[in-house]
Structure 1
Amino acid sequence: MFFITTAIDYTNGAPHIGHAYEKVLADVIARYQRLKGEEVYFLTGVDQHGQKVQQTAEKEGINPATFAAKKTKLFLNLWKKLGLQYDGWAATTDDRHKACVQAILTDLKDRGELYKKAYKGFYSVRQEQFLTDRDRNEAGEFGSEWGEVVEIEEENWYFRLSAHAEWLKNYVEKNPDFVIPGFRRNELVGALANSGELDLCISRPKERLRWGIEFPFDTDFVTYVWFDALINYISFAGYKAKEGSDLPSFEKLWPCAAHVIGKDILVPAHGIYWPCMLHAMGFADEEMPKILVHGWWNMKGEKMSKSLGNVVDPDELADKFGVDALRYYLVRDITTGKDADFDLDRLVMLYNQEMANELGNLCNRALNMTARFGGGKVVTGAETNDDDLSLRASLLTVIEDYRAAMDGFDVAEALKAINRHVTVCNAYAERNKPWELAKDPANKSRLDSVLYHLVESLAHCAVLISPVLPEPASRIASQLRMDELLQLKFDDLKWGLVPEGHETGKPKPVFPKIVVEEA
């Protein structure tokens, strides 16, 4: 079972390009695993609790639940538009999640992992966490990244995070694939080496925050939003679910293959808090999840932010350039784990060049020329020459390169592999000139071979592109009159997908070119 989750999106804001990238990346990975024949469960959702949600709702004069529901709808609508094929939806206001969080709190208290104490310190309203001196900058101040910082003195519940610090250091050292890619793991190793052994405040008094999950054994407190939110990965996977629940079987799903998260929430939330929480609950080392960390989409080297006015709205982009172009660009122009600059010119250029001009051209050529010069029927038994064998070798190499890249979560490299074979195919057509061969009946056998090699390659490309662009892949399969093509599994990709005498359909534009009007 391949269980993939994304970080759940905080409903205090609207979906931005980073949210869209993360979800499309996870969707592509999930679709690829299904292509490999894996049974997949893809979980995503929203984090609806916390002080910021309560404060924003109060400013708008509405109930936090109403505010969260309104924001949640924005995410749901966008994911539908972008064609996400997820299996489970996590919303932290769900009663099933609340019950799981409260059961875990009770269990941790019984295990001696929680304690109550008074504390006086500085608190970041933006990040909803207490700060220490290590959070100060070189000038001894709390930087702008913390937003408003206030001094608070109050009693709270604490999780004995420090009791698991040594275990976590050893675990990370012994399991290099805990965090992917490796250089992101190095950031966690560095953070652990420089961290103190502090415990984690996991409650907020109701006199300050009411919008959260109530502590089952101390009703004057609600759960800290991060402690609550992280548990979604197991609550919606069926952990501690009541008998008869419609949630999936936890034993079947866990341990998950990957949490897909942004680099900004690796430390401390996912890289420190989460594994220590799981360890305290009794999860063994072999039950720890993998964490796939992606970078940010920046704008001219700067992080996108409302204050800078450089935020990109994925909903508007999908409407303007099309869902297919947006999905393609989001995973084509960034290396998983690294940052990249969002560039609308490159979005248009890459989609037009690689999809419309190259793959679209191959589709049009293969089908149009088969219809014109071959009566629409594929002849597979024609004699082959070295050029044909070279094209087949290219496809074989590209399939293996694609597999290696996708298994390493590097979607950009996988797409480059497809593009390499498409380029080979179009160059092959230019060299062999079917339009010239068709003029002489003596060239019939050679013409049949060339057309077959182009159609066969197109069939493979449709399957390979399907995790990224499922709708265009389906359109290609339909034009090939091979709707069953997308039911194939990866290991079925061997030469000979197109049978002798198969009749292809007429080509229609699969990748309409993006035309940008001059200002």
Structure 2
Amino acid sequence: MAGSEKGSYYITTPIYYVNDKPHIGHAYTTLACDVLARFKRLDGYDVKFLTGTDEHGQKVEASAEKAGIDPQTFTDQVSQNFRDLTDVCNYSNDDFIRTTEDRHKKACQKLWQVLEDKGFIYLGSYAGWYAVRDEAFYTETELTKNADGKRIAPTGAEVEWVEEPSYFFKLSAFEDKLLALYENDPSFVGPNSRRNEVISFVKGGLRDLSVSRTTFKWGVQVPGNNDHIMYVWLDALTNYLTAVGYPDESAIEYQNFWPADLHMVGKDILRFHAIYWPAFLMAADLPLPKRIFAHGWWTNEGQKISKSIGNVIDPLALIDEYGLDQVRYFMMREVPFGKDGDYSKQAMISRMNGDLANDIGNLAQRVLSMVFKNCEGKIPEHGDFTDADKELLDSVNALHEKLRNDFDKQSFHRGLESVWNVISAANKYVDEQAPWGLKKTDLARMGTVLYVLAESIRQIAILLQPVMPESMEKMLNQLSLPVDVRKFSDLKTPLPTGVEIDKPQGVFPRYVEEGGA
């Protein structure tokens, strides 16, 4: 798009199913997308960041009936909960899509028509096992039995036998094409463990996919046959196209942003995104997304999260207790992204008091306090840099490229680890250079040391904006850095000297439990 330095970048969350309120899994996926979207914007890209809600299907119809209201009223209420979460968590999404919008129904029906016209959809009848909770069909070999002897899906959802007329999509025709896609583009599905699962599933053989239902009415009607409602996953996946203007392929947003650069999903819905979705797009002769990444699940203090146990983690409650940026940092740093991870209160407090309060918070507070107190409240002039100065500055200067490489692989934890290695080196440099002692012996050298540290803090704070935007804004404000020079392209322009700063305030207070010392 005109005005962007490096082109466009389109990133999506899955659209969240509106049969319940948001939980930590929803917050986690959207946060990862938000961090990457903010990073790309600061790195010079024109970004479109999409999230939204999936509002059709048998499960929603049943939930609305249970609540005693019509499905549209029900989805209006629950979808708002997800909108509210984006505000509370400071997500920077550019669009919020709902599958009940007219623009989406139009896109779904057009895609269906294209698939049908090209001979990839045909009418038949379906008989098999269906999980309402998953909105997914399963083969007999995928099922196990629970303690009550009832058949259950691999997800634990109960299944029911369904027999009804159905349209089918010729998924079986895409087995070889999909395998060639995974082979020719190893980065199409990440991480590698999930890619291997997808390849294994496809190699096991693909059957044609039932893509319509007749036993309920809450969904997008099949063009030309109002007795049929589109299968919720064909409906839901199309949202990524809807949001960029499809079916108008000449639309500016479609031209600029399709194909998507990254679909971020939870591992439980990878099959739909890495198998069904590219097959639908291949059949319609539409470009494929560039990458699909599946992250893991959270447990709570070592236990699987479940409503029946009552240990569901409410992201809003976490933010209330610990602070927004503290929670954002913890979720991106604590777990290797892509793997399952455990939430524990002790781990949260450890990150807050260790990484945030002690490491970066203490570094900024003591350095800027010394500048304010000993340099007439101004960023000091500097002399020639020593080897020790250059070593720290070189490690700071290398961070941008390291972060870019790690974030492009969705390896957020590794990128943050690199930043904290440099923060640790900066704290060590403070102790070794002892600027408080230089005040009495070598004022010029003290100025240089404090300049090197202030410059390091500037670059670190700029780079951490995607993860902790509000806190880093405070830190950059304390350096009196103008708002218009906080992009990554500004990293190479050194901190100007002689600029006045205010007396610094702590950005990351220590967390003390009630009743604690």
Q: Same-fold call, TM > 0.5? A: yes
Deviations 1:453-503 (A, max 9, x none): 1111111111011010011111111111113365322x4323x52113222
Is 1:60 the counterpart of 2:60 in the alignment?
no
Name the CA shift for 1:302/1:271 in 2 (closer, same or farther; >3 Å): farther
Which of 156, 171, 184 is equivalent to 2:194? Answer: 184
How far off its partner does 1:302 sit? 4.1
- One-letter code of the match for 1:277? F
SS at match of 1:514: coil
How far off its partner does 1:199 sit? 0.9
2:305 maps to what in 1? 304
How far off its partner does 1:283 sit? 2.1
- Give the alignment of 1:246-325 within 5 angstroms: 249-267=253-271, 269-284=272-287, 287-325=288-326
Mapped partners of 2:340, 2:206: distance in 1: 31
Mapped partners of 1:448, 1:197: distance in 2: 68
1:376 maps to what in 2? 377
Gaps of at least 5 residues in structure 1 are: none
1:492 maps to what in 2? 490
Mapped partners of 2:274, 2:249: distance in 1: 29
Contact 1:180 1:291 in 2 (8 A): yes
How far off its partner does 1:271 sit? 1.4
Name the CA shift for 1:446/1:102 in 2 (closer, same or farther; >3 Å): same
Deviations 1:332-368 (A, max 9, x none): 1111211111112111111221111111111112211
Contact 1:57 1:67 in 2 (8 A): yes
- Give the alignment of 1:470-489 within 5 angstroms: 470-484=469-483, 487-489=486-488
Which of 36, 49, 67 is equivalent to 1:42? Answer: 49
- Give the alignment of 1:118-517 within 5 angstroms: 118-137=125-144, 142-143=151-152, 145-194=155-204, 196-205=205-214, 208-241=215-248, 249-267=253-271, 269-284=272-287, 287-440=288-441, 443-484=442-483, 487-489=486-488, 491-494=489-492, 497-517=494-514
How far off its partner does 1:408 sit? 2.1
Contact 2:249 2:255 in 1 (8 A): no
Contact 1:383 1:446 in 2 (8 A): no
Mapped partners of 2:206, 2:446: distance in 1: 73
How far off its partner does 1:505 sit? 2.3
- One-letter code of the match for 2:209? L
Aligned residues: 506
Contact 1:278 1:288 in 2 (8 A): no
Contact 1:459 1:485 in 2 (8 A): no
SS at match of 2:440: coil
How far off its partner does 1:142 sit? 2.9
Contact 2:178 2:275 in 1 (8 A): yes
SS at match of 1:154: strand
SS at match of 2:144: coil
**Identity of matched residues, %:** 38
Mapped partners of 2:191, 2:183: distance in 1: 15
Runs of 4+ with >6 A deviation: 138-141
SS at match of 1:438: helix
Mapped partners of 1:484, 1:25: distance in 2: 24
SS at match of 2:151: coil
Q: Which moved more, 1:71-80 or 1:105-114?
A: 105-114
Mapped partners of 1:350, 1:302: distance in 2: 21
Name the CA shift for 1:293/1:147 in 2 (closer, same or farther; >3 Å): closer
Q: Which moved more, 1:295-304 or 1:253-262?
A: 295-304
Deviations 1:285-331 (A, max 9, x none): xx443101111112344431112322111011111111111111110
- One-letter code of the match for 1:492? D
Q: Which moved more, 1:258-267 or 1:104-113?
A: 104-113
Mapped partners of 1:125, 1:381: distance in 2: 67
2:32 maps to what in 1? 25
Deviations 1:235-289 (A, max 9, x none): 111111499xxx852111011110000111112x1111111000111125xx443
